[in-house]
């Protein structure tokens, strides 16, 4: 992640309540500048070799690349799943004012 300063992290959760708990933990510890909670996500997946599905909510977390490990730790500590989805995607560009705001809310890069 070193070549990128910012990331968007995707996390699926069992519902908006869990999403709010995780978002509050991340924001309270300044590990994310913003967390969107998108309800009504239908996930289809293989679990232990068998097809499965779940109605979930999606968290879209905006943060500094240097905080990915911290975010993963907070999600794992507050998530009900055995293997929570936590996928970090690099931000390759965007509104520089917004990216600076992420830095200011998460303690810089």
Model pLDDT, residue 61? 98
Q: Are 10 and 85 in contact (CB under 8 A)?
A: yes
Model pLDDT, residue 108? 65
Angle, alpha carbons 47-51-57 (nearest 5°) = 70
User: What confidence tens digit (pLDDT) does each residue in 2-15 have?
Assistant: 589 999 999 999 99
Flag whether 1 is in a domain: no
Flag whether 28 is in a domain: yes
Model pLDDT, residue 1? 39
Residue holding tokens 């810089």? 108
| Separation CA 19–CA 17 (nearest Å) | 5
Q: What is the CATH number for 46?
A: 3.30.70.120
User: What confidence tens digit (pLDDT) does each residue in 13-55 have?
Assistant: 999 999 999 999 999 999 999 999 999 999 999 999 999 999 9
Give the chain's domain count.
1
Domain enclosing residue 19, as ranges: 6-106
């Amino acid at each position: 992640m070193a070549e990128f300063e910012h990331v968007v992290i995707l996390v699926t959760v069992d519902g908006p309540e869990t999403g709010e708990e995780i978002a509050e933990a991340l924001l309270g510890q300044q590990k994310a500048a913003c967390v969107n909670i998108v309800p009504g996500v239908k996930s289809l997946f293989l679990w232990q070799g068998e097809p499965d599905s779940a109605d979930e909510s999606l968290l879209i977390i905006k943060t500094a690349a240097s905080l990915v490990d911290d975010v993963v730790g907070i999600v794992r500590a507050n998530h009900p799943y055995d293997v929570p989805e936590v996928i970090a995607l690099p931000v390759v560009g965007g509104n520089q004012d917004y990216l600076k705001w992420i830095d200011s809310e998460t303690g810089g890069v």
